[in-house]
């Protein structure tokens, strides 16, 4: 059995949401000129856009068909370009993607996940601890029956004291 078959698609969606949150954080408050001058931020942005594309490519067709407005093929193609054609990457396109396409993608992916629609902060869903939308992150809530993987994922989350606000939904356009 392949890793794709063993892993629930909602975990790939969670990977997309987490990578989107990281990209938003990386480029927050920057200008294009400051971005291209900061090699570490460029590399971190590239890596997270690759993760988004890889996770998008692992979503089942039944899921991606529910959001035809998302250019899934372009997202995967951008990942492939970053991974295999790294020598010809346009940082202007990367910047534009990071500053104009991440929030709409994040909102669209969130709509694909039924338990995220309520935004109730429930500690029972794998995405409840996601720092991108929950009003307040809660630690220490019981997670009976979830096993060690859920606890490992929880350890990587933001501190409970950090408040997070939601962004308004935006329209979606092509990522590349």
The set of catalytic residues is: 79, 84
Interhelix angle 9-27/102-112, rounded to 10 degrees, is 160
d(CA 102, CA 88): 22
d(CA 81, CA 87): 9
d(CA 135, CA 45): 25
d(CA 40, CA 38): 6
């Amino acid at each position: 059995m392949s890793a794709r078959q063993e892993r629930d698609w909602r975990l790939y969606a969670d990977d997309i949401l987490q990578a989107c949150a990281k990209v938003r954080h990386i480029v927050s408050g920057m200008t294009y000129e400051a971005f291209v001058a900061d090699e570490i931020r460029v590399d971190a942005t590239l890596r997270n856009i690759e993760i988004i594309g890889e996770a998008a490519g692992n979503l089942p067709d039944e899921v991606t068909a529910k959001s035809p407005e998302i250019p899934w093929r372009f997202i995967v193609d951008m990942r492939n370009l970053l991974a295999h054609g790294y020598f010809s990457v346009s940082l202007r396109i990367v910047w534009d993607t990071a500053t104009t396409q991440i929030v709409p993608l994040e909102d669209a992916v969130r709509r694909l996940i039924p338990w995220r629609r309520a935004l109730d902060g429930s500690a029972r869903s794998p995405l409840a601890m996601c720092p991108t939308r929950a009003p307040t992150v809660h630690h220490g809530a019981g997670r009976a029956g979830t096993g060690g993987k859920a606890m490992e994922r929880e350890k990587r989350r933001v501190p409970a004291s950090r408040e997070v606000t939601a962004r308004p939904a935006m329209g979606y356009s092509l990522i590349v």
